[in-house]
Amino acid sequence: MPHKIGFVVVSSSGHEDGFSARELMIHAPTVSGWRSPRFCQFPQELVLQMVERCRVRKLQLLAHQYMIPSRVEFYISESLPEYFSPYQAERFRRLGYVSLCDNEMTGCKARELKSVYVDAVGQFLKLIFHENHANKYNVYNQVALVAINIIGDPADLSDESNIASREKLIDHYLGHNTEDPALEGTCTGKSDYISPLDDLAFDMYQDPEVAQIIRKLDERKREAVQKERYDYAKKLKQAVADLQKVGERLGRFEVEKRCAVEKEDYDLAKEKKQQMERYRGRAYARLQLHGLLDAALVRRPLGLPLQPLVPPGSPRHQPATLSPPPQEEGVTENRFAEPLLQDKLSSHSLDTSQQPPVDQSLPATHPHLKTHLQSLPYDERPLPAVHKQPGAAAVEPEDGDRDMSEAPRGATAGEPERLTEKALREASSAVDVLGEALVAGAYSKTWSYREDALLTLYKRLVETPVGTPKEDLKSALRASIFLIRRAIRDIVTPVFQASLKLLKMVITQYIPKHKLSKLDTTYCVERTVPVLLTRTGDSSARLRIVASNFIQEIALFKDVKSLQMIPSYLVQPLKANASTHLALSQMDLLARLLKDLGTDDTGFTVDNVMKFSVGALEHRVYEVRETAVRIILDMYKQHRALTLDYLPPDDSSTRKNVLYKTIFEGFAKLDGRPTEAEIRAQKKAAAEEAEKRKKDEIKALQGQLAALKETQAEGQEKESEATKAKDPDAQGRKAAPPSAPEALDTHCLDNLCIFCGERSDSFTEEGLDLHYWKHCLMLTRCDHCRQVVEIASLTEHLLTECDKKDGFGKCYRCNEAVLKEELPKHIKTRDCNPAKPEKLANRCPLCHENFTPGEEAWKAHLMGAAGCTMNLRRTHVLHKPAVPPPGKGPAMSKSGTSGAKVGSKIPTPKGGLSRSSGRTYTKR
């Protein structure tokens, strides 16, 4: 199984003073690592020699936060090359390279851990560092490496290593698999499994001493599994998990102590040292309490360097020999290991300075203590109190240490300690009402006394008779709220839960039972809910959920609901320095209560909810912004028009923001309108269909023109033959006109409007422009860009081509273009005539009516007598006098034909010119 490989630094191309490459041989939270010289030449080089010839499986690099090389190359060799005789020694073999991030996204405040999986055999490893990433912090253009970790297997050096030992052969024939997942203590059991304890992140964030204990306990766990002592293995597994938390915290303390020393703040350094000793002692005492810690795990020379741990299955595993510890360390260990236990049967207590040490085996065999500890969740079991040395300075522990040091219920006898002068002044009003004994229990340093005090108060309030005077009831209520408010801040879970139980009883039973006024309910809510809201940002997920659910529960209680107070707390703007958990809990609680309560006389209004949600869209945490979007969509379901007043206009610039784009697309889905992506897809499909239809029309017109040319040619031939038959001499006197079909084609297309089919001698190039501009019944002028467009494509022009197209939106019901500022009102009133599918009916953008589908129907609708009433050009033409053109009669109608119509949706009638061609010569 691959494991951590020890190494030494053979050579380096240089280093800055105080940051030698030998720092890389130590893995601890306080190591500084290696740094290159200032303004060095690149590349820089490091050569490492592993303790033995190994098969390297994994390499890990921990980069500096701002002295970051752009690339690191890896080389491996069986032996160290001699550069002066390159042909007689082996060269390094290149494995590859890794690129490191420039760390700009984190502001150069994080360190990158890069892991590389390889498979190479050798004993020497060379690292080449290329030029650094430039940033404002790295003023000397240096590169650095905080730590490096090598994981692999020892390589077989001789044939003897390939011969199985006697034990392995016996196991083989007995059917025992040494890589059984149950025996390995892992869920994989694979030969290439890498233990998390060998990972670089484990050593770099763990206290070195605790890390060694964890490895020893993990080794014992594997042995226990092999011997099928599963209960013991379970204890060891939980102890390892708890010690990892202890080691990380001790590592942070060590870093803080080192920073204080660098700043020459020796008082803070001393305080951190004492804090580490207390915390370490309690952790070790807890392990001894369960019989998991002995002197072999803790006692080691403080100056002993951290050696790589070789698993017992390795062929090079040797039992570690520890030198006897110094005498001074025994004193320290006794201070750590001696718990303060008092005999419950004793009639008097001994002074702590005169109490003899208690046998360390006593706590593990105490039946009452063991039973009570097992009844609690593992992460909530308190550790025994640390025995103070005589003459030691009394240091007030921190809140986090205080609760870990409290003795469990039943471990100490007698009453809780008396109130201090400060506590007595603070709780004087509660003492007058509830008595000093109960308040002393609530202020006790022992969590079990605090819990018992709250449960006693719960029982006393429940048993209060109905006829009690109102003043006494109110005084008891205020004193209880004082203690509840203090207990809500308690970090011990049983105490916190007892305070919630008491508060719920006060609001739901005590006040209604004794018919107290709304002012008392208001007092309870305003004194406790703000504190409860702060607990929704707790680091413990379970406490956050409990606090949020409790707030939601009491908010729905009828007496609290009528006060409308809790919603007002939830819509307070999020503070910039608030924790992520607090912001997420507030947003989630707001979303849940908004669904339960609504906005009708509940404290939630469209104004305060929308202002809060729009402000939350700017929060730094993605989950908060996502919840704000969900709240805005929920508000839009209930108040569509009012919600839009708090948002920016829906235009292209606003939609550049991803959140607002998501919001407006959500609005479209709620309204049943197509989203922007769907509109683009529809436009693309419509454009493709229009292009196809245009090509078909052009092809049909070209066919008609070819047929017309052929018919005209046949008529010309017949006419020439008849002329020859009547006057044979005419052929000699008169020559036939050349290129008759071409002349006819030019004649047919001249003086013709390709849209309405009208023909006139006045339709020259300028005359046709005038006709298109003023008189063509199939065309109209856009009121916004003054372009002449077909009436059939007016809607498409306004949405896609017009200069003011950004100001228009498409109604999903009538499919027409409407000004965006009028679109919400247009949709809300529902006055428009719904459009039918294009295959079933055409839609006129002038009169907003549906009529017969097909392209021929457009001419009948726009030019017919009973057609569109909103076509102003049509009404003008109907009043024009119809004067038949002189000299043009049926012959003209016969020879007339439809012209080619390019880019128009209105085809020319197949039967020749339209009936309106009789008035093409009328001029004004």
How does pLDDT run across 6-44, given as a tens digit for each residue? Answer: 899 988 889 998 898 888 888 888 888 999 999 899 999
| Averaged pLDDT, 184-188 | 43
Torsion of CA 678, 679, 680, 686, to 10 degrees: 110
Question: For residue 346, is pLDDT > 50?
Answer: no
Rounded distance between C-alpha atoms, residue 572 and residue 552, angstroms:
17
The pLDDT confidence band at residue 297, using thresholds 50, 70 and 90, is: low
- Summarised one tens digit per residue, pLDDT across range 834-865 is 888 888 888 899 888 888 888 888 888 888 87
| Averaged pLDDT, 812-831 | 86
Identify the pLDDT of residue 748.
56
Identify the pLDDT of residue 702.
82
The pLDDT confidence band at residue 203, using thresholds 50, 70 and 90, is: confident
Rounded distance between C-alpha atoms, residue 464 and residue 462, angstroms:
6
Proportion of the chain above pLDDT 70, given as a percent: 73
Both structure tokens of 34? 């290696």
Q: How far is CA 873 from CA 88, 773, 855, 909, in A?
A: 101, 11, 20, 20
Rounded distance between C-alpha atoms, residue 384 and residue 371, angstroms:
15
Q: Which residues does 41 contact at the CB level (< 8 Å), separation at least 6? A: none
- Summarised one tens digit per residue, pLDDT across range 763-810 is 888 888 888 888 888 888 898 888 888 888 889 899 898 988 888 998
Rounded distance between C-alpha atoms, residue 721 and residue 187, angstroms:
104
Lowest-pLDDT range of 367-371, 508-512, 513-517, 855-859: 367-371
Q: Between residues 838 and 581, which one has the greater pLDDT?
A: 581
Among 924, 787, 794, which Cα is nearest to 868's? Answer: 794
Identify the pLDDT of residue 840.
84
Both structure tokens of 730? 């005419």
| Averaged pLDDT, 557-584 | 89
The pLDDT confidence band at residue 666, using thresholds 50, 70 and 90, is: confident
Identify the pLDDT of residue 46.
92
Lowest-pLDDT range of 25-29, 281-285, 405-409, 519-523: 405-409
Instruction: Give me the residues paired with residue 144 across strands.
Output: 35
DSSP-derived secondary structure for 850-911: EE--SSHHHHHHHHSTTS-TT-HHHHHHHTS---PPTT-SHHHHHH--PPP--S-SSPPPTT
Identify the pLDDT of residue 924.
27
Structure pTM?
Answer: 0.37
Question: For residue 558, is pLDDT > 50?
Answer: yes
Question: For residue 894, is pLDDT > 50?
Answer: no
Burial class (CB in 10 A: 0-12, 13-18, 19+), 608: middle
Q: Between residues 399 and 471, which one has the greater pLDDT?
A: 471
Q: Between residues 179 and 21, which one has the greater pLDDT?
A: 21
Tokens 């190591």 -> residue: 31
Rounded distance between C-alpha atoms, residue 385 and residue 708, angstroms:
112
**Using an 8 Å Cβ cutoff, are 340 and 387 in contact?**
yes
DSSP structure class, residue 375: T
Report CA Rg, the chain: 45
Both structure tokens of 584? 């997420």
Lowest-pLDDT range of 146-160, 164-178, 519-533, 853-867: 164-178
Question: For residue 316, is pLDDT > 70?
Answer: no
- Summarised one tens digit per residue, pLDDT across range 533-547 is 999 998 888 899 999
Identify the pLDDT of residue 764.
83
Question: For residue 476, is pLDDT > 90?
Answer: yes
| Averaged pLDDT, 250-262 | 87
Q: Between residues 875 and 752, which one has the greater pLDDT?
A: 752
Q: How far is CA 601 from CA 491, 520, 567, 598, 796, in A?
A: 36, 21, 11, 8, 46
**Which three-class secondary structure state does DSSP give residue 538?**
coil
Identify the pLDDT of residue 730.
46
| Averaged pLDDT, 675-689 | 83
The pLDDT confidence band at residue 85, using thresholds 50, 70 and 90, is: very low
Identify the pLDDT of residue 861.
87
Count other C-beta atoms under 10 Å from residue 503's C-beta: 26
Identify the pLDDT of residue 450.
92
Q: Between residues 672 and 495, which one has the greater pLDDT?
A: 495
Q: Which residues does 269 contact at the CB level (< 8 Å), separation at least 6? A: 257, 260, 261
The pLDDT confidence band at residue 275, using thresholds 50, 70 and 90, is: confident
Identify the pLDDT of residue 294.
58
AA identity, residue 487: A
| Averaged pLDDT, 520-545 | 91
The pLDDT confidence band at residue 181, using thresholds 50, 70 and 90, is: very low
Question: For residue 494, is pLDDT > 70?
Answer: yes
The pLDDT confidence band at residue 833, using thresholds 50, 70 and 90, is: confident
Both structure tokens of 874? 């049509």
Rounded distance between C-alpha atoms, residue 37 and residue 32, angstroms:
15
| Averaged pLDDT, 717-741 | 57
The pLDDT confidence band at residue 302, using thresholds 50, 70 and 90, is: very low
Rounded distance between C-alpha atoms, residue 202 and residue 207, angstroms:
9
Both structure tokens of 12? 């380096």
For helices 658-671 and 622-638, give the axis angle rounded to 10 degrees.
30
| Averaged pLDDT, 267-274 | 88
Identify the pLDDT of residue 897.
35
Identify the pLDDT of residue 754.
82
Bond preceding residue 43 cis, omega within 30 of 0 = yes
Identify the pLDDT of residue 855.
80
Identify how many contiguous H helices and E strands the chain contains and give both numbers.
36, 14
DSSP structure class, residue 805: G
Identify the pLDDT of residue 734.
44
Question: For residue 358, is pLDDT > 50?
Answer: no
Question: For residue 447, is pLDDT > 70?
Answer: yes
Identify the pLDDT of residue 146.
92
The pLDDT confidence band at residue 482, using thresholds 50, 70 and 90, is: very high
Identify the pLDDT of residue 245.
85
